[in-house]
Amino acid sequence: MSADPAPARRTRRHDPGRRDRLVDTTLDVIAARGVATATHRAIARAADVPLGSLTYHFGSLTELLAAAFTRHVDDVAARFDARMAAAPDRAAALEALVEHLTGDLLGSERDLVLAVELYVAAARDAELRAVTQDWMSRSRRSLERHLDPVTAREVDALVEGLVLHSALSTDPMDAAQIRAALLRFAG
C-alpha cells in the first residue's frame, strides 16, 4: 500500500479515444455497483482522469449514461441478431434464443446486471427509456426472422420476465427450466 502517487501518467495531453474509454468505464462502474453510484466522480476515479474531463466530453451525466447504455445495447442486440440470422429455421431459432438467454445474458453476471440497471434507469428517464425501447424493438425484429409478430412480442415479454426473475430471485431458474419454458411457449 501507499504506492507511488500515479507516476506514469503525467501530462497525458491530447489523449485520443478518451471519450470511448469513458463510455467503457461507465459501463464497468454501472455493472459493478449500479447506476445510482455512477457519478461523475466515481467514473473519473475508475478511468483515472480528472473530474473536468467528463463534463468536457459529455454535456451532462445523463448524456454519458445514455451513451454507455446505447453502446451496450448495440453490442447485445447485434450479437442476438447474428444468432437469429444464422438460424436456418424456426426450431434452430428457438434453440439460438435459449442459447442467447442462458449463455449471453444470464450466463454473464455483467450483462444481466446491465440489463436490469437499464430497466431501472429507464423507468424514470425519458432519454434512457428510448434506449430500452430501441433494444425491445430490435430484439423483436430479430425474433420476427422466424416467429410471427404476435409470438415474437409475447416471447420478448417472457424474456424480460426471465431476466428480471434471474436478477432478483434467490432461487433462479436454471438453463434447462428456461429452455423448457421458452419451448413450451413458442415451440
Interface positions with a copy of itself (CB under 8 A) = 34, 36, 116-117, 119-120, 122-124, 129, 132-133, 136, 150, 153-154, 156-162, 164-165, 167-170, 173, 177, 180-181, 184-185
Least distance from C-beta 13 to DNA, angstroms?
4
Residue 173's binding partner, choosing from a copy of itself, DNA, none, with beta-carbon cut-off 5 to 8 A by kind? a copy of itself
Binding-site size for DNA (CB under 7 A) equals: 25
Residue 119's binding partner, choosing from a copy of itself, DNA, none, with beta-carbon cut-off 5 to 8 A by kind? a copy of itself
Distance CA 62, CA 57 (A): 12
Is the distance from CB of 135 to CB of 148 less than 8 angstroms?
Answer: no
- Residue 185 binds DNA (CB under 7 A): no
- Residue 9 binds DNA (CB under 7 A): yes
Q: Assign residue 124 a region: left if phi > 0, alpha if psi is -120 to 50, beta otherwise? A: alpha
Q: Which lies closer to a copy of itself via its Cβ, residue 92 or residue 181?
A: 181
Q: Which of residues 54-113 bind DNA (CB under 7 A)?
A: 54-57, 60-62
Least distance from C-beta 115 to DNA, angstroms?
21
- Residue 13 binds DNA (CB under 7 A): yes
Give the residues lining the site for DNA (CB under 7 A). Answer: 9, 11-16, 18, 37, 39-42, 49-57, 60-62
